[in-house]
Amino acid sequence: MKNRKIAGILWDYDGTLVNSALKNIDITKQIILEVCPRLSGENLPIYLSSEKDYHFANHKANNWQDLYLNYYKMTYDEMISAGKLWTKYQLKNNTPVYPFSQIIETVREIDLPQGICSQNSSKNILETLETNDLSNKFDAIIGYDDIPNDKQKPSSFGGVKCLNQIFDTIENKIIIYVGDHEGDVEFARNIGKELGRTIILSVGVKYSGADIDSWNFKPDYEIEKPNDLIDIIKNYS
């Protein structure tokens, strides 16, 4: 397989390209005040009390819906309402979000089509990319609000949609998917299962605190820092 070249790179966003934990915590608190104030104040979920607790829950949850339902203890209707408010609150929240060290240089060095498949809002992602002069490096951005509620990660739906926006044909290719979550590995596998003749290699990132050793779904590769990805790409050139 290593005599075949990598055709493109798909990225997760939160915890992979950027450290957005503090912003996401602040936004979730604001949404709780609007949607389910019973969970505010003294009843605030412990997983919103610190960045460490947030990362723990975020890495354990299967997706944003699981996070809201089983860690923040929202009802199903509250979770749906909260999801609809996410983009609005993201775009008006000014908490700084920064790319991880080496991300900007790594993304710019990669001379392949790149896309983002995220549980964040695509509008918010694009705004961050433009702020960091990276928007020209991405051919497609798929956020949670671009796909149906029942097709969120780890369903393959968003990944296949992203690839179809990047390539004229998505068959017989090798694609890398980079993420910080066990669900990202499952997501990559599900894309590969659906596409059949296209190989999706999963890369788990450790630089944002993920405990990959505890995952049931193991990635094909692990990286300690973003530019380690360049070496993986070169192995297939």
What whole-number distance in Å separates Cα of residue 44 and Cα of residue 32? 9
Lowest mean pLDDT among 53-67, 162-176, 178-192: 53-67
Q: DSSP label at 33?
A: H
Tokens of 55: 């990362």
Terminal Cα distance for the chain, rounded: 11
Which residues, 6 or more positions from 51, have their beta carbon under 8 angstroms from its beta carbon? 21, 22, 25
The 3-state DSSP class for residue 191 equals: helix
Per-chain mean pLDDT for the chain:
94
Nearest CA to 158 among 133, 173, 140?
A: 140
What whole-number distance in Å separates Cα of residue 167 and Cα of residue 84? 30
Q: Is residue 57 over pLDDT 70? A: yes
Which residues, 6 or more positions from 162, have their beta carbon under 8 angstroms from its beta carbon? 10, 115, 116, 117, 140, 141, 142
Beta bridge partners of 201: 176
Q: Is residue 141 over pLDDT 60? A: yes
**pLDDT one-digit tens code per residue, 12-46:** 999 999 999 999 999 999 999 999 999 999 999 99
What pLDDT sits at residue 149?
87
Q: Is residue 164 over pLDDT 70? A: yes
**pLDDT one-digit tens code per residue, 69-106:** 999 999 999 999 999 998 899 888 989 899 999 999 99
**pLDDT one-digit tens code per residue, 172-217:** 999 999 999 999 999 999 999 999 999 999 999 999 988 899 899 9
What pLDDT sits at residue 142?
97
Q: Dihedral of the CA atoms 127, 132, 135, 136 (nearest 10)?
A: 160
